[in-house]
A and B are shown apart, each in its own frame.
Chain A
Amino acid sequence: MRSRALAFMLALAGAIVLSGCGEKEQVVVYKQGKYQGKPDSKPWDATAFGGDKAKWEASIRARNQNQNEYKRM
């Protein structure tokens, strides 16, 4: 029983020690002239449109025309 507990403790300690090896790279490596940040999603992928680009474009088109008062009169 005692040897089992010891083995478990050793395994746990080993796992903790080894987790240090999985450390992420701390230094950023820049590639010349390329965007280095996080990727961004498309506006039509938002919950309001659910990936429907045509629906998003229709909404933007309607809003665009709202700025034309010759069409609104």
Chain B
Amino acid sequence: MARMKFICDAERCIECNGCVTACKNEHEVPWGVNRRRVVTINDGVPGERSMSVACMHCSDAPCQAVCPVDCFYKTEEGVVLHDKDLCIGCGYCFYACPFGAPQFPQSGAFGLRGKMDKCTFCAGGPEADNSEDEFRKYGRNRLAEGKLPACAEMCSTKALLGGDADVLSDIYRERVLKRGKGAEIWGWATAYGKPEQKPAEQPAKTGEKS
């Protein structure tokens, strides 16, 4: 098995925030913490694009490089995870991450910052798989149930894909080859499909002089 990755197809994402909701619901993520969010550029302008963004589980993760207590690790499947028991909530990883993936729960009038929380690729953390402790600290471990991340699996337009990087590449390549590229993939025909059948031919009128 190759590395686990996410890919978001900006041509398909409709900014429904279904992935964000699925993530929140699946892991019971507290208020103020968004493991995944949808970013839109050129909002309201023809040609606007949306992307669902979370931890990209980098091959050379900057969060892992800057962590002063070395609480990050990478699993055999290439998922970047961390040990919350070791995290000191310093926030270095937040500044290092180019995607803004690390999140910090805050509470109280002075905004006391808690331990870092981020997308786990639905792979839990360093606790017994599918245990109560794992769920409380890291959320549900869908990978240990043989499932892929909830956000990708429930994406209605299949804009967000998650799983084995090689397979995702094949899916995305096939998709791009079928739909084409450029101006023809934007607009009515892409949204509602091209007419597949020609209009029925009218029968020739009888008794008509040729």
A contacts, CB < 8 Å to B: 28, 30-31, 33-49, 55-57, 59-61, 63-70
Q: What 6 pairs between A and B have smallest CB-CB spacing?
A: A37-B83, A59-B146, A46-B144, A46-B129, A35-B73, A38-B126
Contacts A37-B73, A38-B83 given; does A63 touch B126 at CB 8 Å: no
Q: Which bucket holds chain B's interface residue count?
A: 35 or more
Cβ of B103 within 8 Å of any chain A Cβ, yes or no, is no
Determine whether the beta carbon of B146 is less than 8 Å from that of A60.
yes
Determine whether the beta carbon of B167 is less than 8 Å from that of A46.
no
Determine whether the beta carbon of A37 is less than 8 Å from that of B1.
no
Q: Shortest distance in angstroms between A4's beta carbon and chain B's nearest beta carbon?
A: 46
Q: Shortest distance in angstroms between A16's beta carbon and chain B's nearest beta carbon?
A: 29
The residue that B129 contacts in the complex, of A31, A41, A65, A70, with Cβ under 8 A, is: A41
Across the interface, name the chain B residue whose C-beta is closest to A63: B148
B44-52, B156-164, B190-198: which one contacts chain A? B156-164
Determine whether the beta carbon of B70 is less than 8 Å from that of A49.
no
Cβ of B171 within 8 Å of any chain A Cβ, yes or no, is yes
